[in-house]
Amino acid sequence: MKIFSYLFSLSFPRKRESRATNAGLFSSCIPAFVGITLLLFSAAAYAHSYQQGDITIGHAWMRPVPKGVKVGAAYMPLLNWGADDALIAASTPVAEKVEFHNTVKNGDVYEMRQESKVELPKGQPVAMNPKGRHIMLFGVKNEIKPGDKVPLTLEFAKAGKIVVELWAEENAPAHETGH
Ligand SMILES: [Cu+2]
């Protein structure tokens, strides 16, 4: 009997220990996940990225805009390493107006909805790609050809402003279509 209660007393703390280890594993998973995400950010052969305060901005690109077309869309992955932040404004000299959009399913159709800002919760990668959230350019002034580099100013509530270069590319980077 004694040995059983001894084993029981042993097994109980052991259980707790393993739970604690799991919790430790879980929390150590977060930086690992962030690390993998960062790797993805730079994995594309022709990628570029930026750091503004706690925000990492991955490969920023847009679709070329043919002559006569007035709208364009830009994409980039964002990752906030610090306290919760948000992308609150964007502008570019090549377009009259820039908006944040999200693609949402409404019944059987996908619709673009304007959003006043893009929330950037701590440690949570936020994708901007042709399937979802994106930056919309209205009143595009000139043709944007493949290979062009287009400046885009991003303003974050906490991290401040940064000018990134949108690379005009026909195709989405492989890591953004690989799902
Ligand atoms: Cu849109």
Note the pLDDT tens digit of each residue in 11-32: 333 433 334 444 444 455 555 5
Q: How confident is the model at residue 131 (pLDDT cuts 50, 70, 90)?
A: confident
The total number of structural domains in the chain stands at: 2
Please indicate, yes or no, whether residues 33 and 82 belong to a single structural domain of this protein.
Answer: no
| 55 has pLDDT over 80 | yes
Please indicate, yes or no, whether residues 128 and 87 belong to a single structural domain of this protein.
Answer: yes
Query: 94 CA distance to ligand 1 centroid (A)?
Result: 17
Query: 71 CA distance to ligand 1 centroid (A)?
Result: 9
Higher pLDDT, 169 or 26: 169
Query: 58 CA distance to ligand 1 centroid (A)?
Result: 20
Q: What is the DSSP letter of 16?
A: H
Query: 6 CA distance to ligand 1 centroid (A)?
Result: 65
Please indicate, yes or no, whether residues 79 and 114 belong to a single structural domain of this protein.
Answer: yes
Distance CA 69, CA 43 (A): 32
Query: 97 CA distance to ligand 1 centroid (A)?
Result: 12
Degrees (nearest 5) of the Cα angle 56, 84, 52? 25
Q: What is the DSSP letter of 67?
A: T
Query: 40 CA distance to ligand 1 centroid (A)?
Result: 24
Please indicate, yes or no, whether residues 84 and 41 belong to a single structural domain of this protein.
Answer: no
CATH number at residue 96: 2.60.40.1890
Query: 102 CA distance to ligand 1 centroid (A)?
Result: 7
pTM for the structure as a whole: 0.73
Q: State which of 13, 29, 46 marks the end of a domain.
A: 46
Please indicate, yes or no, whether residues 97 and 152 belong to a single structural domain of this protein.
Answer: yes
Please indicate, yes or no, whether residues 121 and 80 belong to a single structural domain of this protein.
Answer: yes
Please indicate, yes or no, whether residues 66 and 148 belong to a single structural domain of this protein.
Answer: yes
Each residue of 63-97: pLDDT tens digit?
999 999 999 999 999 999 999 999 999 999 999 99
Please indicate, yes or no, whether residues 6 and 62 belong to a single structural domain of this protein.
Answer: no
Query: 7 CA distance to ligand 1 centroid (A)?
Result: 63
Please indicate, yes or no, whether residues 147 and 62 belong to a single structural domain of this protein.
Answer: yes
Please indicate, yes or no, whether residues 40 and 55 belong to a single structural domain of this protein.
Answer: no
To the nearest whole percent, how much of the chain has pLDDT over 70? 71
Structure tokens at 134: 């994106």
Domain with 26 in it: 2-46
Query: 74 CA distance to ligand 1 centroid (A)?
Result: 9
Query: 3 CA distance to ligand 1 centroid (A)?
Result: 69
pLDDT value, residue 177:
45
Amino acid of residue 19 = R
Please indicate, yes or no, whether residues 72 and 120 belong to a single structural domain of this protein.
Answer: yes
Please indicate, yes or no, whether residues 63 and 34 belong to a single structural domain of this protein.
Answer: no
